[in-house]
Structure 1
Amino acid sequence: MYDLTGFQRDLLYAIAGQDDPHGLAVKDELEEYYETEIHHGRLYPNLDDLVEKGLVDKGQIDRRTNFYEITQRGRREIEARREWEDKYVSIGA
């Protein structure tokens, strides 16, 4: 996960947290979080990077809609990141 941008990490988290994430659902989730518009030119190349890194699988729903699914490697990366964060951030302790 060390080689991901913050935006890519947020994409990975958004995909992991949705039941059937497709491009626009992920886009909507991040627009709500960032409180700003996410352009397709930013979204889809970063999703493709996650696919290339083996963190996300990409499939096709129809000719215009792709779905994204976190891989086992992606889940392991999130778990490792959470463990690392827990070493430095203690909330409510």
Structure 2
Amino acid sequence: MYDLTGFQRDLLTVIAGEEEPHGLAVKEELEEYYESEIHHGRLYPNLDTLVDKGLVEKGTRDRRTNVYTLTRRGRRELEARREWESQYLDF
């Protein structure tokens, strides 16, 4: 997780919170959070990086729509990140 960008960590978080999210749904969630447009040229290469690192699995819903799900490793990495953050964020 240490080698991911903040944007990639946010992608993991959104993917974890959705059931079979597709690229456009992830994009819309992040645009709402960032309050700015997320370009396809930023979104899809970062999703591909997460797939290449084994944190996300890419599947297909239909011929035009890819879906993304966390792998076990991706879920473990998010959980480890949450535990690490909780050391510093005592709310």
Give the TM interval when normalised to the shorter protein.
over 0.9
User: When the two structures are aligned, how many residues end up with a matched partner?
Assistant: 91
Q: CA RMSD in A?
A: 0.6
**1:19 corresponds to:** 19
Name the CA distance, whole Å, in 1 between partners of 2:35 and 2:64. Answer: 26
Deviation at 1:20, TM superposition (A): 2.0
2:28 equivalent to 1:28: yes
- Please list every run of 5 or more consecutive structure 1 residues that lacks an aligned counterpart in the other structure: none
Compute the TM-score of the two structures, normalised by the length of structure 1. 0.95
Deviation at 1:19, TM superposition (A): 1.1
Compute the TM-score of the two structures, normalised by the length of structure 2. 0.97
> What stretches of structure 1 move > 2 A for 4+ residues in a row?
none
Deviation at 1:38, TM superposition (A): 0.3
Percent identity, aligned pairs only, is: 76
- Please list every run of 5 or more consecutive structure 2 residues that lacks an aligned counterpart in the other structure: none
**1:38 corresponds to:** 38
**1:57 corresponds to:** 57
Name the CA distance, whole Å, in 1 between partners of 2:51 and 2:89. Answer: 29
**2:90 corresponds to:** 90
Deviation at 1:59, TM superposition (A): 0.6
